Amino acid sequence: MCRVHRRFLWLRNPLNQNHLLDEFLARPGDHDHVFALGDYNCDTGFVGVSDDAALESAGICLGKLRARFGERLHALIGDHELGKYSMFGQRGGLRLDSWRRVTRDLGLSPFWQLEIGPYACLGITSTLVALPAFEREMLESERADWRNLREEHLEQVREGFHSVSRNQRILLFCHDPTALPYLWNEPVVRSRIDLIAQTFIGHLHSPLILWKSRRLAGMPTLAFMGHTVKRLSTALGRARDWKPFKLRLCPSLAGIQLLKDGGFFTAEIQVETATPFHLQFHRIRR
């Protein structure tokens, strides 16, 4: 089953896609801001960048992005930077050492905020916001530290949303949409929900997966097929709460094997007014 899933649906050669980053970087264009939505390594050890090979590969990827875009780059922390259980089995999981390496060695900020004309851009760490969904994937000795990190992060998120004025519009950047129902529970987020113009997510790789996720929104939790299926079905059970956030999926550069639908978006924003911005998708052939 795993082999069929990998060969025909997901990615036949997941470790042989690095050339797509080089192709993206070679595209012309002098962009004012560039947003990267996380997962800069393949996380083959399933423990994030606490694994030396994962740290090295993430460092190479981010190094190329920073060399090309410099301070114009704004990068999220993806779940594969921090670790997660493997899809088939219960290997790996969150590691605090991955968090330390992400913030110290890779120089990624858990939360960032910037203004582009009338838009307030907020970048959050989805794994921290959705931490209750990953409870079983932590080491027992690290649970308290993870929970403290989550509370610190949520306070940053609350302050960020609170600081947005009523004449601004919010562009939210969130790697994994699993975090959005937890944000919906935050009163200050609800009080600003009408200001969200778009939420940009990654994680799902392909619009097909987002479409399927929306179709399965509200499904019951499947507790008899292992932890990963339980976590995914629980997230989909709350996926109806995604709607107020106005999702826009930025697929991976590779997309999925079935459709080969990877690429990236560019946006043209009028900084003088909060008029709707124009998005254009650029497909990368492979």
Residue 96: pLDDT over 60: yes
Burial of 272 (C-beta count, 10 Å sphere; 0-12/13-18/19+): exposed
CA–CA separation, 256 and 262 (whole Å): 7
Counting the structural domains of the chain, the total is 1
Residue 87: pLDDT over 90: no
46-63 average pLDDT score: 97
Half-sphere exposure of 6 (CA within 13 A, CB side): 9
Contact yes or no for 76/175 (Cβ under 8 A): yes
Domain annotation covers residue 257: yes
| Confidence tier at 4 by pLDDT (50, 70, 90) | low
Give the model confidence (pLDDT) of 65-82 as tens digits: 999 999 999 999 999 999
Q: What pLDDT is attached to residue 89?
A: 65
Contact yes or no for 170/196 (Cβ under 8 A): yes
Domain annotation covers residue 256: yes
| Confidence tier at 286 by pLDDT (50, 70, 90) | confident
Residue 204: pLDDT over 60: yes
Q: What pLDDT is attached to residue 158?
A: 98
Give the model confidence (pLDDT) of 221-254 as tens digits: 887 667 777 887 888 889 999 999 999 999 999 9
Q: What pLDDT is attached to residue 46?
A: 94
| Confidence tier at 5 by pLDDT (50, 70, 90) | low
Contact yes or no for 176/127 (Cβ under 8 A): yes
Domain annotation covers residue 230: yes
CA–CA separation, 42 and 183 (whole Å): 27
> Which residue would you say has higher pLDDT here, 1 or 163?
163
Residue 2: pLDDT over 70: no
Question: What predicted TM-score, i.e. pTM, was given to this entire model?
Answer: 0.95
Give the model confidence (pLDDT) of 142-189 as tens digits: 999 999 999 999 999 999 999 999 999 999 999 999 999 999 999 999
26-41 average pLDDT score: 94
Instruction: Report how far Cα 222 is from the mean position of its chain's Cα atoms.
Output: 24
Give the model confidence (pLDDT) of 119-149 as tens digits: 999 999 999 999 999 999 999 999 999 999 9
Domain annotation covers residue 6: no
Look over the chain and give the mean of its residue pLDDT values, rounded to a whole number.
Answer: 92
Domain annotation covers residue 30: yes
Domain annotation covers residue 279: yes
| Confidence tier at 205 by pLDDT (50, 70, 90) | very high
Q: What pLDDT is attached to residue 114?
A: 97
Domain annotation covers residue 11: no
Burial of 28 (C-beta count, 10 Å sphere; 0-12/13-18/19+): exposed
Burial of 252 (C-beta count, 10 Å sphere; 0-12/13-18/19+): buried
What residue numbers bound the domain in which 103 lies?
17-283
Give the model confidence (pLDDT) of 269-282 as tens digits: 887 776 778 899 99
Contact yes or no for 272/119 (Cβ under 8 A): no
Domain annotation covers residue 12: no
